[in-house]
Amino acid sequence: MNVMITGGAGFIGSNIALELQDKGYDTVVLDDFSSGNFKNLLGYEGDVVSDSILDVDLDRFKDIDAIFHEAAITDTTVSNQKLMMQINTEGFRRLLDFSVENDIKFIYASSAATYGDAESPQKEEYAGRPNNIYGFSKWICDCMAKKYMEKYPDSHIVGLRYFNVFGPREQYKGKMASMVWQLAKQMVEGKNPRIFKWGEQKRDQVYVKNIVQINLLALDAKESCIVNAGSGNAVSFNHIIEVLNDVLGFDYEPEYIDNPYEEFYQDFTQADLTNAKKYLDYEPKWNFEDGVKDYVEWLKENRYI
């Protein structure tokens, strides 16, 4: 099978690309390297096309069997609404059109940001009231995908609403990297880990290997769908620090700070995985604690901490 990974030099895209390569797929990465990093692809031996999803000549990829669409602006603090919509939504539209026209499987990254302040655990039908332009851009992609699923019932379209993903190759995301990475880095540097008062905010922290798992399962989806991609469990910020202390051998106390994003901050996220199990047979292989241990080993082996 020939597959393309857009945003393949980014965090999740590179993990997908390397796993597909290991499984024997013929792969091509499409990335403009505006936020991705070549170091994420060390060990990758497939093709790399450096171009924007808005401008690339898609006709050159007509022999592709599946597209994993990960390319997007993922910085939720970006306030340039036009830029966010152009990249995330119009770029998505181009690739979706191309996939349907050429009978290519289309698997794409949606986001739990589409839920806004919806009650937890979040079920797919709760989406539609995002708190920021990032979440809105992803919500419009989901709406577009649903219409295509109805209009083209023989198409293969799968949207995956990522929750809080952590793991190898996220270190180039800067301030948008996971709490696990941010807090581990602070602790290794000898600092007390800083979290918002009073650390009881809970997020569905999902290890990136689970996200790679659900993406590969989406290739054999029973039907087109949009489902949650998380761990199914909520983890408090205080618990993250407890686990990191245990894994890293530290005994740091958290430093509590005011939350400057309180107006649009999601205090509690947890993925309801009922539909992910129903349509994709997805059951996360990694729990939070084991994921952190595996991640820290990788960080040490690659000298990031």
pLDDT tens track for 190-226: 999 999 999 999 999 999 999 999 999 999 999 999 9
Split at pLDDT 50, 70, 90, the class of 76 is confident
Over range 142-149, report the average pLDDT: 98
Mean pLDDT of 145-150: 98
pLDDT for 2 equals 97
Q: How far apart are CA 165 and CA 210, in angstroms?
A: 9
Q: pTM value?
A: 0.97
pLDDT tens, residue by residue, 166-189: 999 999 998 899 999 999 999 999
Q: Residue 202: its pLDDT value, please?
A: 95
Say which CATH superfamily domain 2-167+206-232+270-285 falls into: NAD(P)-binding Rossmann-like Domain (3.40.50.720)
Confidence of residue 261 (pLDDT cuts 50, 70, 90): confident
pLDDT band (50, 70, 90) for residue 81: very high
**196 Cβ neighbours under 8 A, 6+ residues apart:** 237, 256, 257, 258, 259, 265
**Catalytic one among 138, 173, 202, 209?**
173
pLDDT at 266: 75
Active site residue 185: no
**pLDDT-derived band at 107, boundaries 50, 70, 90:** very high
Measured distance CA(60)–CA(57) in Å, rounded: 6
Say what the pLDDT of residue 54 is: 98
What mean pLDDT comes out for the span 260-271? 83
- Residue 260 above 90 pLDDT? no
Provide the pLDDT for residue 258. Answer: 94
Residues 112-139, mean pLDDT to the nearest whole number: 96
pLDDT of residue 265: 76
Quick check: is 173 catalytic?
yes
Query: Choosing from 44, 115, 134, 207, which is the catalytic residue?
Result: 134
DSSP codes, 161-190: EE-EEE-TT-GGGGGGS-HHHHHHHHHHTT
Contact 70, 6 (CB under 8 A): yes
**Average confidence score pLDDT of the chain:** 96
- pLDDT for position 262: 74
| Measured distance CA(238)–CA(220) in Å, rounded | 38
The residue extents of the domains of the chain are 2-167+206-232+270-285
Backbone angles phi, psi at 122, to 5 degrees: -80, 125
What is the separation of C-alpha 9 from the centre of its chain, rounded to a whole number of angstroms? 13
Lowest mean pLDDT among 174-188, 225-239, 258-272: 258-272
- In the chain, the N- to C-terminal Cα span, in Å, equals 37
**pLDDT above 90 covers what percent of the chain?**
94
Is the distance from CB of 11 to CB of 165 less than 8 angstroms?
yes
